[in-house]
Amino acid sequence: MNTEWHASDQMLIEYSNVHCDVSTAYSIEAHLERCQGCRGTLARLSGSRPEHAEEIWNRIADVIDRPNPPVLAGCLMRLGMPEPWALLTAATRAMSAAWVGLQILLIGGAVALARLGAGPNAFTPFLFFAPILPAVGVVVAYHPRFDPAAEITACSPMAGAKLGLTRIVAVLSVTLSLLFAGSLIVGHGWITLTWILPTLAVAGATLVVVTLIGAEQASLVVVVLWVTTWFTLYVLRSPQGRFVNLVNDGFLGERQWLWAGACLVMGAVVYVRRDRFELALELQRQGMS
Amino acid sequence: MSVDSDAVGPERSDVQLLNAVGAGDQVALRELYERHQAWLIARLRHRCADPDVVDECLQDTFVAVWKSASSYEGNGEVAAWIWGIAIRRLIGVLRKQPRQIVFARDDTVMVSAEEHVLSGVQYGDLAGALSGLSPELRAVVQATVLDGLTTREASRLLGIPAGTVKTRMMRARQELRGALT
Amino acid sequence: MTSVKVHNATRRFGSFVALDDVTFSLSAGITGLLGPNGAGKTTLLRVLATVAATDAGSIELLGRDPRNAQSRVDIRRRLGYLPQEPGFHREFTAFEFVDYVAILKEMVDRKARHDEVRRVLAAVGLANEMKKRIRNMSGGMRRRVGIAQALLGSPELLILDEPTAGLDPEQRLRFRELLTARRGHTVVLSTHQTDDIAALCQRVIVLLEGRVRFDGTPPELAALAHGRVWNALERDPTAQLAWVTGDGMVRHLGTPPAGADAVPPAIEDGYLTLVGSLHALSSAPEN
């Protein structure tokens, strides 16, 4: 090829304005692939606005700089969750492998007891302990100790009910799914699902306690209340039967209506007190309103 | 705070820049972009009338350059390599949208005698022969010869069956051969 | 316009009084907070950042009462805060972390948010370190990530707790430039560096044992030591406060030793005069 040939300025201007005949265009195109000089001339003459090139560059930079979302956030986004919420959920410590693993261990233990033990009573430990998990989970979701950037989080506009409840929903859905999977493995039919309403009610109660005294002691208070209530009832009613019978009585039959009522009440209280959700620990405790 | 301008020094060649991009150097990509965006835009506009599609295509092209720079084997012009990406991106973008191709414009301006001679310097009588082709045949020549697309890619770009691309190419060859001999 | 009003604010932790009847108000400009460790600076800044409460007194930030939940959200939308010990998600990169905070600041649109994240990271000189994981960063770099997140959205009220701690001199210079460009907004920062105050602040508040002991301009603070700063060749054993400076002279504060030259006071001298005890010297800047 004749390397002495170069496109004239006039040709390049016409070419960049898409205003030249086909054969000239072909010549220029074949030439431009090989000639840095003419490419530079074209860039100078083309009359395109630098801001335009800059804008496209920004778009390129945005795509190549964009970090890959964490695996969990990516899954949530594929399920249709908007990107910001998916990222927030994925950054929640309560979604961490440690907390999920601990729950799998505990639920697995209760499932093993139920499978190995004989009779429907073998399922009682599962029923009794299931509501404790979300009570602890709520605090894992809410307590600043489980948020490495707690102080920065606390002063953000999301730090009220928005972020708190996002995290709590995330934590509860994991816990409830695990419990549900556990009860399917146990497989005693409907009886094994009687934990659902009590568990939701206890989760709601924990949230209410959080709005009253802050996240710091909320789960401790709820768990202690849960255990002592049952043992008090047992002591009051003894020696009529075994503890497992009491628990079974408390969960089964028309008692489920009581639990459903408790869920509604707790839900309503949480809704009324939604303004009191606050991630800044001190403000939780001080009960600012 | 930290140094922002470590890119000064002797100007890097396209190949060097592309190798640096392959190693994750964003500054090098920026430089490559600044060198090549203008002619790429012009050339894309010869194939697509919609400026938004051209912009999107340019963006996709450099994102693809960023991702696949390490697969550049070091032979051939970097500009040609980038164009190979750009034209295929254009096919990809156009597939998502109604066709806006400006192949084979009919309002070709008359060429002055001087320009005719100039372009003739490079291609001999080829220029004249090309101008003699029908717009349909020219489009096929442009896609396959100039842009180096495969028959299948050309058919996607032009929105005609692959068989038609082949027959048109054959006819174009015949006509060109006739005009040049 | 007054953007911060603190009226009779008091805060106790058990028997320790962190804030003791603190009253002041601020408008646009940069205000420095000086005081020894434990003087209540961090407590005060946390109150201004809406993450801590007072036991008594009233606070008004950007015209709103932080005790009301809805007003608190409004304040937080216009607030940037660098805590003294900002925790980080250490496995995040700088970009991911600042992006996370940007989401917390309700920046929903991804493109606009990413542009803003890049802007603030570039402003603190981390443009080329955006992809570095925070756990692999030095203390100074982490501090800059912390400053970057505080700058998100160009907040009207910027609270910075020891922003220059861990920064090298060049970075401090760049930080000062960054802040000087924000004079139109209200910036409150705490520091142990009196030269930060001299270079940046239009106003300085000295906090001692939870009380405001000085509130004025940096030259006014320096003027407190007017006629009390002396340079001598030898240390006067009876001197109230004396230290050897870089040029080998002994700088005295208080009554003049024999044969000493009077020296114009610096901010540090004013501050030390105010602190007025050797105890305070141990936590005062040592330059």
Q: Does C203 touch chain B (CB under 8 A)?
A: no
Q: Give B72→chain C minimum CA distance, Å.
A: 25
What is the predicted ipTM? 0.85
Q: Give A228→chain B minimum CA distance, Å.
A: 59
Q: Which residue has the higher pLDDT, A20 or B86?
A: B86
Q: Predicted confidence band at C149 (pLDDT cuts at 50, 70, 90)?
A: very high
Q: With contact defined as beta carbons under 8 Å apart, do C115 and A62 qualify?
A: yes
Residue A85: is its pLDDT beyond 50?
yes
Tell me what the mean pLDDT of segment B101-125 comes to: 42
User: Are B122 and A31 a contacting pair at CB < 8 A?
Assistant: yes
Tell me which residue in B34, B38, B146 faces A26 most closely, judged by beta carbons.
Answer: B146
Question: Closest chain C residue to B5 measured between Cα atoms?
Answer: C128
C228-259 pLDDT, tens per residue?
888 888 888 777 788 888 787 888 888 788 77
Q: Which two tokens stand for residue C242?
A: 């004396």
Alpha helix positions (H), A79-160: 83-90, 97-116, 124-129, 132-142, 150-154
**Interfacial C residues in 73-92 facing A (CB < 8 Å):** 73, 76-77, 79, 81, 83, 85-90
Q: How are beta strands C250-253 and C261-262 bridged, if at all? A: unpaired
Q: A83-90 and A161-186 are packed helices; what angle lies between their axes, rounded to 10 degrees?
A: 70
Greatest mean pLDDT range, A242-251, B120-129, C200-209: C200-209
**Interfacial C residues in 102-131 facing B (CB < 8 Å):** 124-129
* pLDDT value of residue A193: 81
Q: In what order do the strands lie in the sheet containing C211-216? A: C79-82, C157-161, C186-190, C29-34, C203-208, C211-216
User: Are B1 and C128 a contacting pair at CB < 8 A?
Assistant: no
The whole-model pTM stands at 0.75
Chains near B, with 3+ CB pairs < 8 A? A, C
Q: Does C261 touch chain A (CB under 8 A)?
A: no
Question: Closest chain C residue to B25 measured between Cα atoms?
Answer: C128
Alpha helix positions (H), chain C: 41-48, 69-77, 94-104, 110-123, 139-151, 169-180, 194-200, 218-223, 267-275, 278-283
Q: How many CA atoms lie within 13 A of A92 on its CB side?
A: 31
Q: How are beta strands C211-216 and C56-61 bridged, if at all? A: unpaired
**Lowest-pLDDT choice from A261-270, C190-199, C277-286:** C277-286
User: Are A91 and C67 a contacting pair at CB < 8 A?
Assistant: no
Residue C33: is its pLDDT beyond 50?
yes
Q: Which two tokens stand for residue C36?
A: 């020894």
Residue C61: is its pLDDT beyond 70?
yes
Q: Give A56→chain C minimum CA distance, Å.
A: 13
User: Are B4 and C144 a contacting pair at CB < 8 A?
Assistant: no
Chain A hits for B83, Cβ within 8 Å: 33
